[in-house]
Chain A
Amino acid sequence: MSSAPVLKVEGLVTELRSGGGSVRAVDDVSFEINAGETLGLVGESGSGKSMTCLSILRLIPSSVGRVTGGRVVLEGTDLMTLDEAQMRHHRGRRISIILQDPMTSLNPVLRIGDQVGEAIKLYRGLEGPALRDAIVDGLRAMRIPAPEQRVSAYPHELSGGMRQRVGAAIAMAGPPAVLIADEPTTALDATVQSQLLALLKDVQRETGLAILFVTHDFGIVATICDRVAVMYAGRIVELAPVAELFANPRHPYTEALLRSVPDLDVDVERLYSIEGQPPALDDLPAGCSFAPRCAYARDVCRERGPPRIEAGPLHHASCWKLAGYGD
C-alpha cells in the first residue's frame, strides 16, 4: 500500500442549473481515501452525496450542471484536466460505481453476461471463450450461485440482491483502484444488505480497494467504514474516524444526526428528530447553512460561513461554536 492517497478530492464545486441561475450542489468538498480504506459519506437526501459521486466520475449531464472548481486526483492524475476520451479510459477501469437501485441500474433488455462482459472486454481486451470464462469468474467472485447459468439470464429473472451482486461484478471488472458505492444497500432487505457489505469487505481485503461509501445509515457506517464525512447542504461539515465520530461528534449537525438514530435498548416516548427542514439549495441562508436548525446558533453563525476547526488527529469540523464564535 502506498502512502499517497488513491483518491484525493480538493475543493470540489459543482453547480446545477436552477431556473435562470445556478445552485451549488457540491460546495468546496475535500477528502482523501487511501488504498484498502473505506470512507463513509453520510447526510440527508439532497445533501449532495450523489452529486459528489457523479462529479468525481464527471458524469453530470451538461443539461443539469457542471463541475466548476476543484481537483479530483486519482492515482496521481487530476481527472478534471482530462479530455472526454481520456476520462472514459479511467471510468469503470480505475474508478467504478455501484448505483443505489439494483432494479433500475441494469439494462432490462441485455443479458447479464453481456452487461458484465462488455466491461471486461473494454478493460482487459478479452474475447471469445476467455471472455466467457472471465465473466463467469467475475460473477463467481461476487458469490453469485450457478454463474454459468446466470450469464444468459436477464435482469428481471434475478432477485434484487443478486442484481446488486451483478452490479458489483461490473464494478469490479477493472479491477478498479476506487469503488464508489452510492447507497448500494438502501433498496435491499436487511439480510441481503449485510451479505453485500460482507462481500465488499472481503473484496477490499483481497484487492486493497479504496471505497467511497455513500449512505444515510449509521449502522452501515459502523459496519464498513474507517472514516466518515458528514455532508450538509453540499458541504462536508465534519470528517473523522468512525469511532471518534461516534464517541465525540463535534459539529451540532452530526450530534443531532447521531441522536436521531433510535436506540433499541432505550424506551422513549418520541423518537428524536432534527427540527426544521434542510434548506433549499437555491435559498441557502447567509452564514452557516445549518444555523436555522441549530440549537447553538448565535448571530455570527447567521452572518459568516463557519471556519474549519481541527478537532483532533484526522478530525475536523466546520462550526463557529468550536471556534468560540469568533471571539
Chain B
Amino acid sequence: MLRFTLSRLLQAAVTLWMVATIVFFLARLTGDPVALLAGENATAEYEAEMRRRFGLDLPLWQQYLVFLKQLSMGDLGTSIVSGEPAMMQVLERWPATLEIAVAGVIITLSLALPIGVYAAANRGSWLDTFARAFAVLGQAVPAFWVGLIFILVFAVHLGWLPAGGRGTIWHVILPAITTGWFAVAGIMRLTRSSMLEVLASEYVKLARAKGLPARTVIWKHAFRNATIPVITFTALVVLAQFLTGSIVAETVFSYPGVGSLVIDALRKRDFPQLQAAVFFLSMLYVFVNLGIDLVYGFLDPRIRS
C-alpha cells in the first residue's frame, strides 16, 4: 500500500510538472503582455524596462528555468497586472468556485442517482424513456446556452433568481445547475447501465431467491455495487470538471471564481496569474484522482486488501 501510494505521488508530481510546462509555453504563444499593459503610446525604453522587471527580457529557456526554480519552492510568481502574488488571487477566489462545485455535485447526484436507479429497476417504464430522452438532451445542449436560457427564464422573466454575481445562496443555484446539467445526464445514464448490469448478476438473483423485498435487493445488494463505476465518473469527470471547469458558468453568471480568473488572466496575458490558476486547478484534479482510489477501497473490500 505504501509502495502504491508513493508511486502514485510520483506520478502526480510528473503530471503537475508537465502541466506547468505546457501552460508556460502555451501562455507565451498568446503574445506579448507588455504591449497590452504599456499601451499604444508607450516609449520603447518604458517597454524594455517593464520586460526587464517581469523577467520577460531573458531568453525563453532561461525564463522557463526561473519559472521551474520558483515553482519548486512553491512560488508561482507575481501577477503582472495587479502586482500581487498570483497564488493569493487564486486562493481568494477559490471559495467561490468551491461553492458552485459543491452545490453542483449535490444537485447533480440527488437528481441523477435516484432517477438512474429507478429507470434501471423499472426498465421500459415511462420514466425510463423520459430519463433517457432527457439524458440525450442534456448531453447535446452546450452549458453556456443553458446558462443564458436560465438567466432569461428565471432572472429576467420570472425574477426568481439573480442573473449574476455572488453573495447569497440564491446566487449559487443557477450557475450550479448550469454546470451540473451536463453531468446529470451522464451520471444518470451511467447509473442506469451500471444498475442494469448489477441487477442481472448472480448475487442479485440469489438475493431475490432469498425472498428479500425488492427495496432491499435494489438498495442493499445492487446499488452499492453499481456505484463503483459511478463514483469514478462522478469524481473524475464531474468533481474535477466542477472544480476546474466552472469557467463557462462563472463567465456567463459573472461569478468571481477561479474559472473566471483564468479567462481574465488569459485576456490580459497575465502569464504568472494564468500559470498559478491553471496549476492550482490541475493540482486539484490530480488530488481528486488520488482521493478516488481511497474511496474505492472503502466501497470495494477487494481493493482494500
Contact = CB atoms under 8 A, between A and B. Distances in A.
Given A109-B300, A156-B302, 5 more contacts: A59-B205, A88-B212, A91-B210, A107-B221, A109-B225
A106 B203 contact: yes
A110 B204 CA distance: 12
A157 to B, nearest CB: 7
B224 interface: yes
Nearest to A94: B211
A16 to B, nearest CB: 15
Contacts of B203: 104-108
Q: Could you say which interface size class chain B belongs to?
A: 20 to 34
A273 to B, nearest CB: 30
A90 B208 CA distance: 11
B202 interface: yes
A61 B202 CA distance: 13
Contacts of A88: 211-213
Given A63-B123, A154-B301, A156-B302, A92 B209 contact: yes
Contacts of A25: none
B211 A122 contact: yes
A97 B210 CA distance: 8
A90 B302 contact: no
B202 A99 contact: yes
A93 B305 contact: no
Contacts of A109: 224-225, 299-301
A108 B302 CA distance: 8
A123 B209 CA distance: 13
Contact of B211 (A63, A90, A101, A107): A90
B201 interface: yes
A182 to B, nearest CB: 10
Contact of B221 (A63, A92, A93, A110): A110
Interface string A80-91: 000000001111
A106 B206 contact: yes
A57 interface: yes
Nearest to B221: A107
9 contacts: A59-B208, A99-B205, A101-B202, A108-B225, A110-B220, A110-B221, A118-B216, A170-B206, A170-B210
Contact of A92 (B211, B220, B299, B302): B211
B210 A122 contact: yes
A170 B203 CA distance: 12
Contacts of A156: 301-302, 305
B207 interface: yes
In the complex, the 10 A-B pairs of residues with the closest C-beta atoms, listed nearest first: A91-B211, A92-B211, A92-B210, A104-B202, A105-B202, A107-B203, A154-B301, A88-B211, A97-B209, A156-B302
Contact of A119 (B208, B210, B221, B302): B210
A103 to B, nearest CB: 9
A155 to B, nearest CB: 9
A58 to B, nearest CB: 10
B74 interface: no
A107 B210 contact: no
A118 B210 contact: yes
Contacts of A89: 211
A122 B212 contact: yes
Given A88-B211, A122-B212, A99 B301 contact: no
Nearest to B299: A109
B83 interface: no
A97 B123 contact: no
Contact of B302 (A104, A105, A106, A154): A154
A52 interface: no
B124 interface: yes
A34 interface: no
Given A88-B211, A90-B211, A157-B305, A104 B201 contact: yes
Nearest to A170: B210
Interface string A252-295: 00000000000000000000000000000000000000000000
A99 B211 CA distance: 15
Interface in A106-155: 106-110, 118-119, 122-123, 154
B82 to A, nearest CB: 51
A96 interface: yes
Contacts of A110: 220-221
Interface string B285-304: 00000000000000111100
Contacts of B206: 97, 99, 105-106, 167, 170
Nearest to A154: B301
Nearest to A63: B123
Contact of B212 (A90, A118, A157): A118
A143 to B, nearest CB: 20
A154 B224 CA distance: 15
A89 to B, nearest CB: 7
A105 B301 CA distance: 16
A46 B62 CA distance: 72
A140 to B, nearest CB: 20
A265 B257 CA distance: 82
A108 B225 CA distance: 8
B118 to A, nearest CB: 15
